[in-house]
């Protein structure tokens, strides 16, 4: 009976994880329509989401150990999450009426806009996400009444919840949002929360009775508990507790590195995946699956990670070793990223044996490639969390509070990792060097934790040595540590697979293509290439955005010339998206133009467009041009200006977020900024 009960609880937490990831996808999408789809705006929303998880885990976890009916409390948490999701649907309809007046006319003040986005995100997200963060420590307390039986339950709870997150991400990204609206999909998640909540409340008394009447488990608990308690107490009397405290910081560093890896791997894998919503969902699913399987594996491998179940110092050493393994496996992944284009083509060739439809081939090859590169490091990241939870529960002699603290530190580290890697590290060091830095941090801190168990003397000399090694690494010239040849990434075109489907073709492309510009930006990886004897192309995340072929020039010039010729005496022009700058250049040659405003989401694209100077009339040296770095849709929401012509560089709707530029709401928004007699093209 207990087996059925525990299985049902795992199932509920699986569904809870699915609903949580659906909310994350839906809330980010809804808020990005108001705040913009830039990386900064999206990261701000995601940071608030994760901050809520950390706050809820810490605060609610503190009181979890004193709860008399934790399963009932868990049910109330799920009901409240559903309730606040309904509140979100109400507030999101009101937000444009509040946000737009506050933001209008401030498009030249990004700090002000960023603060508004943070405040609005906190108001609408912090309560439901804090409630989500409290579910794991509360449920851990219900199912694990003592710290010494936490290992199995925490590993399976965390594993099933993360696996549910995978299901939620796939369901939202591939199915629900393909056939249903955002609000309908959110109602599905709300129903899941409500069903879990009512089931948990009704199940509390019967479930508690089943657990309390399990005499066999009680006997095991009694014997094992005394043994573990006696062992741990004797250790703490005679030796330092520094290693046990260090584990809490270690799980924070683990979260920092884990999200850093995810952001950086996702960015480089986008070269072959493209920037579609399907590509991002695929990478997220692969990463979370590795974590889920790793967490569950820890629960079934006690002999490897918990010798005899009563030596916590061995567990601390194991935690340090796990961090070292994460660093080593991440290093292996980083090395083999240099073969990313070839591996992508080999997998596509393999799946073409089963399907002829390109979309299916692309999706399955992307899934396989993401798992190939991400699964193993993510597997060990999944082991780290329940292992740290078990160690900290023994140290703190509590369940809910310990799990909440581990969750809070891990999530706080994840927030910093995502923010710093996505902005500062990529900008300052590039993707490869940033990955190397994370690897050094992972291995160095893991080594420090493992050595700390030995004695304090080793700690005293090992820390300066590790810090010195990190500083030496940072001082080494990047070229001396370079593994990748970025030319492969610069020239690879994922929408022209026939040109890269064999090693010979890839090498031939490398020899016959000149890279005029390559940079890893905050939003995307961009490059400008020229095939010898051929034409020049502009690539974003491996997809050709613009080219100097006859068809490419005709399309881009037309979007500039056509509205200018059809408008009487246009003075002010707005262009959304840069591309190669040919559309801008076409507009600039019309002598009556007084002001051209360009809205571009990725600052690094300007460098690419400058390499097309012979085709865009060197428009970026034109004093009439004003550049604003923002999401195009968000700019139109917040500007008070009107324009005689509004046009856009050709932007493929396949790109994540670009679809919003092809909706009736967008065209209605743009028409509101047309001057009398103005034209939008």
Give catalytic residues, as residue numbers.
Answer: 649
| Structure-block tokens of residue 48 | 């608030």
What are the percentages of helix, strand and coil residues in the chain, rounded to 5? 75, 10, 15
Sign of CA dihedral 175, 179, 181, 187: negative
Q: Give the integer Cα–Cα distance in Å for 458 and 230.
A: 27
Largest CA distance in the chain: 90
Between the CA of residue 575 and those of 304, 379, 644, 645, what are the distances in Å? 60, 46, 11, 8
Number of H-type helices and E-type strands within the chain? 26, 9
Q: Which of 638, 634, 633, 637 is nearest to 648 (CA)?
A: 633
DSSP 422: I
Q: Give the integer Cα–Cα distance in Å for 100 and 463.
A: 51
Q: Give the integer Cα–Cα distance in Å for 330 and 374.
A: 8
Which DSSP helix (H) or strand (E) runs through 399? none
Q: Give the integer Cα–Cα distance in Å for 412 and 389.
A: 15
- DSSP letters, 21-46, are HHHHHHHHHHHHHHH-SSHHHHHHHH
In this structure, what are the phi and psi dihedrals at residue 515, rounded to the nearest 5 degrees? -95, 110
* b (16+ CB within 10 A) / e for 515-537: ebbbbbbbbbbbbbbbeeeeebb
What lies within 8 Å, CB to CB, of 645 at 6+ separation is 563, 564, 567, 570, 572, 573, 574, 587, 678, 679, 680, 681
Between the CA of residue 285 and those of 25, 254, 361, 480, what are the distances in Å? 13, 19, 18, 34
Q: Give the integer Cα–Cα distance in Å for 509 and 517.
A: 16
| Structure-block tokens of residue 337 | 């990223």
Q: Give the integer Cα–Cα distance in Å for 3 and 84.
A: 33
Q: Give the integer Cα–Cα distance in Å for 572 and 221.
A: 77
Q: Cα angle vertex 366, ends 362, 371, to 5°?
A: 155
Cβ 279 vs Cβ 273: under 8 Å: yes
Q: Give the integer Cα–Cα distance in Å for 401 and 163.
A: 24
Q: Give the integer Cα–Cα distance in Å for 422 and 122.
A: 21
* b (16+ CB within 10 A) / e for 144-159: bbbbbbbbbbbbbbbb
For the chain, the residue count is 681
Q: What is the 3 state secondary structure string of 138-196?
A: HHHHHHCCCHHHHHHHHHHHHHHHHHHHHHHHHHHHHHHHHHCCHHHHHHHHHHHHHHH
Q: Give the integer Cα–Cα distance in Å for 291 and 297.
A: 10
Please measure the distance between the N-terminal and C-terminal CA atoms of the chain and give it in whole angstroms.
Answer: 67
């Amino acid at each position: 009976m207990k087996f059925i009960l525990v299985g049902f609880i795992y199932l509920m937490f699986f569904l809870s994880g699915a609903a949580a990831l659906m909310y994350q996808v839906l809330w980010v999408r809804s808020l990005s329509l108001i705040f913009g789809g830039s990386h900064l705006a999206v990261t701000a929303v995601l940071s608030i989401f994760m901050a809520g998880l950390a706050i809820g885990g810490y605060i609610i976890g503190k009181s979890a150990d004193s709860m008399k009916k934790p399963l009932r409390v868990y049910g109330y948490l799920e009901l409240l999450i559903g309730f606040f999701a309904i509140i979100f649907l109400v507030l999101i309809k009101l937000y444009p009426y509040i946000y737009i007046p506050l933001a209008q006319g401030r498009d030249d003040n990004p700090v002000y806009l960023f603060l508004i986005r943070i405040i609005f995100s906190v108001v609408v997200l912090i309560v439901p996400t804090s409630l989500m963060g409290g579910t794991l420590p509360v449920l851990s307390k219900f199912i694990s009444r003592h710290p010494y039986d936490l290992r199995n339950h925490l590993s399976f709870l965390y594993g099933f919840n993360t696996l549910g997150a995978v299901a939620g991400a796939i369901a939202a990204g591939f199915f629900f949002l393909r056939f249903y609206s955002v609000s309908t999909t959110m109602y599905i998640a709300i129903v899941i929360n409500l069903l879990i909540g009512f089931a948990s409340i009704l199940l509390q008394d019967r479930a508690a009775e089943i657990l309390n009447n399990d005499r066999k488990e009680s006997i095991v608990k009694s014997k094992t508990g005394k043994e573990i308690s006696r062992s741990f107490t004797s250790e703490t009397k005679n030796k330092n507790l520094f290693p046990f405290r260090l584990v809490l910081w270690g799980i924070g560093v683990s979260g920092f590195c884990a999200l850093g890896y995810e952001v950086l791997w996702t960015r480089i894998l986008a070269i072959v995946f493209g920037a579609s919503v399907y590509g991002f969902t695929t990478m997220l699913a692969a990463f979370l699956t590795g974590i889920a399987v790793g967490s569950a594996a820890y629960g079934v491998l006690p002999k490897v990670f918990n010798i005899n179940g009563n030596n916590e110092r061995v567990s601390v050493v194991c935690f340090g070793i796990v961090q070292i393994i994460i660093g080593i496996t991440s290093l292996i992944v980083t090395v083999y990223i240099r073969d990313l284009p070839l591996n992508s083509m080999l997998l596509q060739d393999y799946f073409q044996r089963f399907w002829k439809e390109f979309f299916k081939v692309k999706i399955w090859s992307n899934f396989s490639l993401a798992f190939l590169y991400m699964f193993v490091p993510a597997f060990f990241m999944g082991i780290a969390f329940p292992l740290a939870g078990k160690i900290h529960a023994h140290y703190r002699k509590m369940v809910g509070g310990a799990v909440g603290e581990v969750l809070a530190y891990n999530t706080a580290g994840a927030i910093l990792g995502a923010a710093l890697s996505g902005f500062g590290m990529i900008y300052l060091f590039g993707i490869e060097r940033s990955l190397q830095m994370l690897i050094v941090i992972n291995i160095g801190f893991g080594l420090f934790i493992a050595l700390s168990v030995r004695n304090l003397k080793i700690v005293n000399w090992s820390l300066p040595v590790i810090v010195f090694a990190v500083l030496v690494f940072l001082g080494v010239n990047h070229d001396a540590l370079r593994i990748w040849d970025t030319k492969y990434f610069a020239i690879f075109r994922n929408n022209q697979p026939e040109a890269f489907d064999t090693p010979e073709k890839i090498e031939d492309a490398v020899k016959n293509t000149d890279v005029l510009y390559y940079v890893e930006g905050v939003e995307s990886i961009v490059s400008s290439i020229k095939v010898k004897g051929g034409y020049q192309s502009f690539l974003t995340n491996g997809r050709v955005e613009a080219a100097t072929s006859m068809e490419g020039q005709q399309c881009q010039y037309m979007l500039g010339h056509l509205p200018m010729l059809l408008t009487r005496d246009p003075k002010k022009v707005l262009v959304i998206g840069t591309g190669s700058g040919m559309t801008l250049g076409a507009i600039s040659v019309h002598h009556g133009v007084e002001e051209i405003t360009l809205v571009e989401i990725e600052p690094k694209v300007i460098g690419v467009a400058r390499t097309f100077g012979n085709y865009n009339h060197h428009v970026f040296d034109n004093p009439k041009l004003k550049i604003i770095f923002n999401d195009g849709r968000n700019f139109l929401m917040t500007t008070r200006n009107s324009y005689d012509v509004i046009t856009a560089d050709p932007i493929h709707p396949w790109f994540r977020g670009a679809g919003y530029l092809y909706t009736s709401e967008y065209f209605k928004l743009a028409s509101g900024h047309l001057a009398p007699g103005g034209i939008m093209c």
